A and B are shown apart, each in its own frame.
Chain A
Amino acid sequence: MASLARLRLSRTLPLRGVRTIQTSADTTQLHTTAPTDPAEPFTVKLDAESFRSYKCDGPELEVEVTKNQLLTMYRQMQLMRRMEMAADALYKAKLIRGFCHLAIGQEAVSVGLEHGIVPNDRVITAYRCHPFAVLRGGTVAGVLGELLGRKSGMSNGKGGSMHIFTPSFFGGNGIVGAQVPVGAGVAFAQKYMGEQNATFALYGDGASNQGQVFEAYNMAKLWNLPTIFVCENNKYGMGTSAERSSANTEYFKRGDTIPGLQVNGMDIIASLQAVRYARNWAVNEQKGPLLLEFVTYRYGGHSMSDPGTTYRTREEVQRMRSTQDPIRGLQRYIEEWGLATEQELKQLDKDAKAEVDAAVAEAKASPEPDVADLWTDIYFKGTEPPSMRGREREEVCFVSYIRGSSGN
């Protein structure tokens, strides 16, 4: 086994001479001093190795940010991590059942994406969906309520972990890759209606090998749709490393005629800049689809039943956590650039924890859906079949029953 591990390690080492992206979370530089006005923009410079581009020039390394924005991003990233940690605890306490996939370590992608788009842009992703659901207009209590299968959940407790939606977020999705052509259809409707918006269709490095992802690339390019394909490359598709599943691990180059951009997904400022670039590409310049690949890392296992240490070493996880953590990276920027003190940031941490604790309590207090809800939301109200079968013998719902008990 030891020799096998060595062999595997050697395969993942970058080839000498090939330029690789760097994934440090704290290499962005401030050359002047930050302004005192928290809303006044100032410019910082990204590391030269933050992006690799394919058939496009890629974004500028100079990024405009404000103190307010950086502090908001910090607060949101903390909130997302605390929420996922709470979900982890609730799952281990056997309060969350079913499947649960956490995005701890990937916060710079979800928060960076939200800060680079506008509310009416659309987002669709796969099962690691909790942060997007909150950032796109949901609440922590709504997400946790859904995970617990309670009425207060964002899908009324009927969906669960992968099934959380908001008006601009077309949800998590349990079928690997299925959301990608759906995203192309959403983008087509935006274009058809003349909306000045784009759709961001997210998927992982594992899903990128699904046939329908390529079907969607082709349609989006053929019809010049404002679809941004976003590959969150966290290096493992379940327990299989990218190198062992993909002949071409440069996911940003897989769109063939669709230009691509590989992004340091651990530095939130690089993520933000990439999303701004992509949105501008599709909406203002109307150049059609673009493929964004965020190189990121998930600290936990694929799902709750995966310890996440059988296909990678504990040292690898530890190294990523201690040297390339996106939250610590942003924290360092904020402190080094004199935007807030350690004390002030600690207060933000505490606030996030308190918000999540309150949300957990709120979600736990909510009741489970009514038994009658088993038969609602299957067909449009009033068009249901006369009867539908339930889970047990003789458990049959007649339409009159649904209508009667839901008070309509």
Chain B
Amino acid sequence: MHTTKLTARAAKRLPSIIVRRVSFDEVAVAKADRKWQRRWNSAVVEPPPAGGHLPSIATSEILRTTRDGALRTPGLTFSDEDASGSSSTIIGGRETRKMNVYQAVRDAMSIALSKDDSAVVFGEDVAFGGVFRCTMGLSEEFGRERVFNTPLTEQGIAGFGIGMALMGHTAIAEIQFADYIYPAFDQLVNEAAKIRYRSGGQYNVGGLTIRTPTMSVGHGGLYHSQSPEGFFMGASGLKLVIPRSPIQAKGLLLRSIRDPNPVIFMEPKILYRSAVEQVPVDDYELPLGKAEVLVPGSDLTVLTWGTPVYHCETALHMLNSPSPALEGVIPKSLRSAKVELIDLRSILPWDVETITESVKRTGRLVIVHEAGMTAGVGAEIAAEVQKRCFLKLNAPVKRVTGWDTPVALQYEKFHIPDAIRVLDAMVETLQY
């Protein structure tokens, strides 16, 4: 008991190592990807690379890497938009800048701090920029009274933020890793979620936003690669959001900060540096509670959020144009299947309408998430979908998830669903 706790704390104290390892990993992934491309063109079947065929996020077609594409993000509304102006002229005047996820998150907090005097950012090491650099320079820009370090006090941080929000403040708290949110679980579920109800509407902590890095990093192990979103599903009163990209992160975070309910905002940590887009520099928001259809289709719905969005995208490509190694296992009849890819984005409350509308059209659903299967978010969605779409379903709802084990340090890549496992599930569901 003592040793494991100490190990976790010790790991916290080595943020730079973790950050460096992330970037090292990207290089490795990119290298593997080039090899993959070479193999793609050759007829010789080689054994796969040790790390598996993980594609680079950098080449994703989902990411909006042009200014025009960025400004046409569905649901994007500029907060300073003049309601009378036509959207085309407004888009014409907007600037974008190349940002990764941590820069987009920082940008959102910078806007929140400059527009709202009561906004405060705090958490472990945030004044130094945070372990993932999301708060880089904010303390210098807005002062140490507004952007400050807390002790290693997760339960205290959550309680403290709740107290501030009760006083009408905008409290933006960071829990350094989603894995450390468990000590704060009581404060979030018993206090933040319930205060509006139990005070008969007199008090609320709508000003509270808890930011926390989530999901796997490839080698995070037991206490740095978990996805705890499912544990909050029963906490009515809370909202929970997971963005997939820089544009999404900035717009959803600004909306979360301003939402009149407490929001837990989980940022997929592997995407902090690897997902890069042109991000509008102005103040804009994206709606909570709305899923986004990334690739339209009619034969199968694939639903996911966070990091696996990109694995699913790869799996779609694999299905439509399999590599020589995969050709033998993908029936020709399935290669023209039109698969609809949906990013759920808001986990609580989740967009029942968009999902059920899609499944009623396609008749098939595969849900992909990194957390374990038993009572994960996918369980709730599968249950609701089978109830609402029962007569339209052509196959059982399939879940591709982490295993029901701790996220072990060894074999983490085999624990987390990758493109091959998603592809396998798609083939199985399409053939059912």
Shortest A347–chain B CB gap in Å is 35
Q: Which residues of A contact B169 (CB under 8 A)?
A: 189, 192
Pick from A158, A175, A223: contact of B200, CB below 8 A.
A158
Chain A 121-132 interface mask (CB, 8 Å, partner B; 1/0): 000100000000
Q: Which residues of B contact A379 (CB under 8 A)?
A: 196, 236-237, 239, 261
Chain A 178-210 interface mask (CB, 8 Å, partner B; 1/0): 101111111111101100000000000000000
Q: Which residues of B contact A265 (CB under 8 A)?
A: none
Assess A188 versus B261: contact at CB under 8 Å? Given A154-B200, A170-B203, A215-B155. Answer: no
With CB as the reference atom, state the residue of chain A lying closest to B162. A182
User: How far, in angstroms, from A158 to B162 measured CA to CA in the complex?
Assistant: 20
B200 adjacent to A377 (CB under 8 Å): yes
Q: Which residues of A contact B187 (CB under 8 A)?
A: 178, 181-182, 212
Q: Which residues of A contact B237 (CB under 8 A)?
A: 378-379
A377 adjacent to B160 (CB under 8 Å): no
Q: Which residues of B contact A157 (CB under 8 A)?
A: 200
Assess A219 versus B156: contact at CB under 8 Å? Given A186-B164, A189-B169. Answer: yes
Chain A 369-402 interface mask (CB, 8 Å, partner B; 1/0): 0000000111110011111100000000000000
User: How far, in angstroms, from A378 to B193 measured CA to CA in the complex?
Assistant: 8
The main secondary structure of chain B at its interface with chain A is mixed
With CB as the reference atom, state the residue of chain A lying closest to B149. A222
Shortest B260–chain A CB gap in Å is 3
Shortest A194–chain B CB gap in Å is 12
The main secondary structure of chain A at its interface with chain B is loop
A376 adjacent to B167 (CB under 8 Å): no
Q: Which residues of A contact B145 (CB under 8 A)?
A: 192
Q: Which residues of A contact B261 (CB under 8 A)?
A: 379-380, 383
Q: Which residues of A contact B160 (CB under 8 A)?
A: 181-182, 184-185, 188, 216, 219
B200 adjacent to A380 (CB under 8 Å): no
Interface footprint category on B: 35 or more
Interface of chain A residues 82 through 116 with chain B (CB within 8 A): none
Assess A184 versus B206: contact at CB under 8 Å? Given A154-B200, A178-B190. Answer: no
B352 adjacent to A215 (CB under 8 Å): no
Chain A 155-189 interface mask (CB, 8 Å, partner B; 1/0): 11111000101010011011100101111111111
Assess A185 versus B190: contact at CB under 8 Å? Given A190-B167, A377-B197, A380-B261. Answer: no
Interface of chain A residues 201 through 258 with chain B (CB within 8 A): 211-212, 215-216, 218-219, 222-223
Please give the number of chain A residues whose Cβ is less than 8 angstroms from any Cβ of chain B in the complex.
Answer: 49
Assess A218 versus B151: contact at CB under 8 Å? Given A158-B198, A388-B236. Answer: yes
User: How far, in angstroms, from A202 to B169 measured CA to CA in the complex?
Assistant: 22
B151 adjacent to A215 (CB under 8 Å): yes
* A259: Cβ under 8 A from any B Cβ: no
B200 adjacent to A212 (CB under 8 Å): no
Assess A159 versus B151: contact at CB under 8 Å? Given A181-B187, A189-B167, A388-B236. Answer: no
B200 adjacent to A155 (CB under 8 Å): yes
* B217: Cβ under 8 A from any A Cβ: no
User: How far, in angstroms, from A158 to B161 measured CA to CA in the complex?
Assistant: 24
* Residues of B that sit less than 8 Å from A by CB: 118, 120, 145, 148, 150-151, 153, 155-156, 158-169, 171, 186-187, 190-191, 195-204, 206, 236-237, 239, 259-261, 288-289, 349, 352-353
Interface pairs (27), CB distance under 8 Å: A155-B202, A156-B200, A158-B198, A171-B198, A181-B153, A181-B163, A182-B163, A184-B159, A184-B163, A185-B161, A185-B167, A186-B166, A188-B160, A188-B163, A189-B164, A189-B167, A189-B169, A219-B150, A219-B153, A376-B201, A377-B200, A377-B201, A378-B237, A383-B261, A383-B289, A386-B353, A388-B236
Given A219-B160, A222-B151, output 15 extra A-B contacts at Cβ < 8 Å: A155-B198, A155-B202, A159-B199, A163-B199, A167-B202, A174-B190, A186-B163, A186-B166, A192-B118, A193-B167, A216-B156, A219-B150, A219-B151, A383-B289, A386-B352
